[in-house]
Structure 1
Amino acid sequence: MTRVAVVVNPTKFDDVDAARRTITEVCARHGVDDPLWIETTEDDPGSGQTREALAQGADVVCAFGGDGTVRAVGEVLAGGDVPLGLLPGGTGNLLARALDLPVDDAAEAMDVVLGGREERIDVGVLRADGEDERVFLVMAGMGLDAEMMDRTDDRLKAAVGWVAYAVGGLRAVLEGGFGVHLQLAGGPVVRRRVRAVVVGNSGRLQGGLALMPEARLDDGLLDVAVVAPRGVVGWVRALATLVTAGRGHRSLDRSQAPAVRMRADAPTQTQLDGDPVGAYRELEVRVRPGALRVKVAGTGGV
């Protein structure tokens, strides 16, 4: 490895220069040249910067920011031979957590990038209302989870971290659910009244909770969680299942498939890797097995 690029979201750091010095020092310790440092902008959260890094011959491209930065970088790298490196800079750091990578120490995370190994993981692809396909690396969802993220105050998130999502969730949970027609990989169409439908490569949420405990990043399948509690008893049962990683039931139904299609009765808030992307009626989701190379620590599989 001779050329490292870092795509960084400068809004995530109080002192961007200090963050850059930290990464540069780790590179020097590993005998690697100073990294190519490319900052994101309001208009481009990382895609153009990743293409620039590839054009300049980067052997690895690191996403240094939140989950939106990771997704933008990963979307460009998917299908290619240049691996993604993960440097923590956000509140969720969802993919890093799913891969058991450092989420609180950028220097330690950079050590993994330069001294770890490569693994291939699946990526999800989502088409909403016939628009262009978009990649997600961890989870996509329609309903309560997206509403929760959309209602989370950025200032509160910066102050208290992932707990802010719980506050947004309390606001969203007071609203009713929505009707949806759900179809898994060409199977029968099922009509449900739900609060959320989540599709993911990983089932791990903030706080160590496992929404989809059987999910794996490299199994070539999407895991689907249908959240459909009715009344207080239904919510208690769903939450108990979430906390204990227990077996699914009608209030929290889980399944697996290589592709999923859902059509809501009305436009419903949707999220990709924790970022709300707008209200849509129809989502078509599929998996691209092993499409993304990523730097991980240790030995064994992902």
Structure 2
Amino acid sequence: MESVRATNPTQIASMRVAEVVGAEGALSGASGVRTRGHLAGARAPAPDVTTKTGTAQRSRPGCPLPAVVVNPSNVKDLAKLQIQITGVCAELGWAPPLWLETTVEDPGGGQARVALASGADVVLACGGDGTIRHVARVLAGSGTALGLVPSGTGNLLARNLSIGLNDPAGATRIALSGKNRAVDVGRVFIDDRAEEQVFMVMAGVGFDAAVMAGAPHESKSRFGSLAYFVSGVRALRGPRASITLAVDGRIVPPHHVRTVVVGNCGKLLAGLVLMPAAKVDDGLLDVVSIGPRNIFGWLAVTARVLTRRCRGHRIVQHWQGRTVIISAESPQLAQLDGDPVGEVQGLRMQVDPGALLVRV
């Protein structure tokens, strides 16, 4: 069955979500995708399945179709959120949203494929940076825009794009009526694994990844961003590692560091900026290596971050480039947009300029 995007609001190919999942299963592994129809009391009939050349009417003929990929584990009141988003859709003249919930087995990619195959005109990602990363991986290069409804702990991509937090209705309005901004996507291969991954915010090895691994979902749900602080304190005394970098083919000799972070954007929590020169649409990846030996070194690192200085310190070093290779002498913990990916010895990264449209 052919996958299509809605380019004509009045005439689209459509299919039931269950049929889409079955048709796309071999590609996306989306057999575990959970879907919800419209709200109780306002439920519209599912569109008839047609051939790939046929047509079907939306519940509101002529209205653009939004899809919502939501991580239910990040939302306290899922029914309330659905009411809010559906209300904004009706207010702005959009069809009731296609509602797609992530699962542990499929954290967003399969749902994004279902959204594209169903002809969604925009796909809203409701979750944290990890959920957004999985959705963005599918939408990158598709021409279909991503809308952000941040509901995670860090929400760093939303912060870097100045999209408000704790306001689902406001974020939905931006997703449905904002302008498209073409942003870069970081593409990465881990060790000798064949599957390409992406990141929208930052990828890191060492201390950075240890902090993420030490703040599991249960801790973040209970303590919020404080979970990262507690995990960071625990990880401060970890060992340094021998790392070799190559930035645009320029090799940086092996040096001992606590962490190397590659960023598509530079803003952290609490207004801190790790990479002052980073821009989400500059066609470059920013790299920072941090190599303190002791607590006094960490104080120097903190001072550099607070003053946003990029040059002139042996403990904190910065580079920019289109390709980055990280090689570790021994296995190191790694993370992509806050998602731990286990121990690795090599990351091969490159920027894909302007590959993803985001509503801002």
TM-score band, normalised by shorter chain: over 0.9
* Overall identity of the aligned pairs, in %: 47
Instruction: Show the counterpart of 1:233.
Output: 296
Aligned residues: 296
Q: Is the Cα contact below 8 Å between 2:276 and 2:310 reproduced in 1?
A: no
* TM-score in terms of structure 2 length: 0.80
Whole-angstrom distance in 2 between the partners of 1:10 and 1:161: 16
Compute the displacement of 1:13 (Å).
1.6
- Name structure 1 gaps, 5 residues minimum: 297-302
Deviations 1:244-299 (A, max 9, x none): 21233211111101111111111100000011111000111110011000000xxx
| Residue 187 (structure 1) aligned with residue 270 (structure 2) | no
* TM-score in terms of structure 1 length: 0.96
Whole-angstrom distance in 1 between the partners of 2:103 and 2:220: 20
Compute the displacement of 1:153 (Å).
4.1
Instruction: Show the counterpart of 2:275.
Output: 212
- Name structure 2 gaps, 5 residues minimum: 1-62
1:14-93 equivalences in 2 (<5 Å):
14-93=76-155
Instruction: Show the counterpart of 2:326.
Output: 262
Compute the displacement of 1:159 (Å).
2.4
Counterpart of 1:272 (choices 311, 316, 336) is 336
Counterpart of 2:236 (choices 173, 183, 199) is 173
Structure having the higher Rg:
2
Instruction: Show the counterpart of 2:32.
Output: none
Instruction: Show the counterpart of 1:125.
Output: 187
Instruction: Show the counterpart of 2:11.
Output: none
Whole-angstrom distance in 1 between the partners of 2:251 and 2:108: 39
Q: Is the Cα contact below 8 Å between 2:69 and 2:102 reproduced in 1?
A: yes
**Which letter does structure 2 place at the counterpart of 1:89?**
S
Whole-angstrom distance in 2 between the partners of 1:156 and 1:135: 25
Compute the displacement of 1:232 (Å).
3.1
CA RMSD in angstroms, aligned pairs only: 1.1
Whole-angstrom distance in 2 between the partners of 1:116 and 1:265: 46
SS in 2 for 1:290: strand
Instruction: Give the 4+ runs in structure 1 shifted more than 4 A.
Output: none
Q: Is the Cα contact below 8 Å between 1:176 and 1:195 reproduced in 2?
A: yes
More strand by proportion, 1 or 2? 1
Q: Is the Cα contact below 8 Å between 1:235 and 1:251 reproduced in 2?
A: no
Compute the displacement of 1:152 (Å).
1.2
Compute the displacement of 1:23 (Å).
0.3
